[in-house]
Amino acid sequence: MDREKLKLLEPLSEDMVQQFAHAARRSLDTTWGIAELGATGPAGTPYGHGPGISVIGVSGPVNATLKIETHAEDRQHNMLAFTEAALELFAETLGRVS
């Protein structure tokens, strides 16, 4: 992963998570790479984001990203919501492959 390029990206952005998904795909030499960045709670991030935020990226024959915000401090609730969103995004992305 190009660390210098990462420094130029906004934290917890769709651009940033897409870079992580691409890096996972390349480093594992797989067809698909998935990445998730966020704050499940109860605390926020050092970048000023409150708890309950996640960005998800899928890299493959088709790329996709999603930002989800629950605004909840409940860690378990957020982990479940973020996992469900990631699985739904991946399923939708797989459906877009011809």
pTM of the model: 0.91
CB contact set of 55 (below 8 Å; sequence gap of 6+): 12, 13, 14, 16, 17, 36, 37, 38, 65, 66, 67, 68
Q: CA-CA distance, 14 to 66, in Å (whole number)?
A: 7
Structural domain range at position 64: 9-95
39 belongs to a structural domain: yes
90 belongs to a structural domain: yes
Total structural domains within the chain: 1
2 belongs to a structural domain: no
Q: What is the pLDDT of residue 98?
A: 75
Over its length of 98 residues, how does the chain's per-residue pLDDT go in tens digits?
677 887 889 989 999 999 999 999 999 999 999 999 999 999 999 989 999 999 999 999 999 999 999 999 999 999 999 999 999 999 999 999 97
Cis peptide before 42 (omega within 30 of 0): yes
* CATH number, domain containing residue 29: 3.90.950.20
